[in-house]
Amino acid sequence: MVQTIKAVINKYSAQLLYLIFGVLTTVVNIAVFGIGMKLGLSTTISNILAWFLSVLVAYLTNRIWVFGSKATEFGEKLREVIAFFYYRGLTLILDLVIIYVGVNLLHGQPLLWKIIDNVVVIILNYVLSKMFIFKSNKMERN
């Protein structure tokens, strides 16, 4: 039983780490969004601030612990960070659409829609990171 659990953890360690750091990133995202709303900022401004800070946290944790980037040269690191923010920018558009529809058109509760939005965006971000950003840095975790 213990060996089976260890085997599963080893096999899916990147996904488990992504989940753990995804929770951290989501907490940062929702907290900054909530603080922005409490300060009287619009949902759009609160969402963009939340996005920027959570993407910064995500990049650092994903680069080091989730995908184990081996990039050492400046050009490699620059490509990585640009790609990371580019793809996160694409998912920001989806993020903004979900918030706009949920809050402005459906008149839903902003934090509830922010949570729904985060679930969709986190899944898409993992796929994009694995396929396009850290693809040359795939780590085999045994």
* Rounded mean pLDDT, 4-16: 84
Q: Is the pLDDT reported for residue 141 higher than 50?
A: no
pLDDT digits (tens, 9 = 90+) for 45-61: 998 899 899 999 999 99
Which range of 11-15, 102-106, 138-142 scores highest in mean pLDDT? It is: 102-106
Angle separating helix axes 74-99 and 110-128, nearest 10 degrees? 150
pLDDT digits (tens, 9 = 90+) for 79-124: 999 999 999 999 989 988 999 999 999 999 998 998 899 889 888 9
The predicted structure's pLDDT at residue 45: 94
Q: Is the pTM of this model over 0.85?
A: no
Banded model confidence at residue 138, pLDDT cuts 50, 70, 90: very low
Banded model confidence at residue 12, pLDDT cuts 50, 70, 90: confident
* Rounded mean pLDDT, 4-22: 86
Residues 43/110, Cβ–Cβ less than 8 Å: yes
Q: Is the pLDDT reported for residue 128 higher than 70?
A: yes
Angle separating helix axes 110-128 and 43-61, nearest 10 degrees? 30
**What residue type is assigned to position 142 of the chain?**
N
Q: How far is it, in rounded angstroms, from Cα 86 to Cα 105?
A: 28
Q: Is the pLDDT reported for residue 142 higher than 50?
A: no
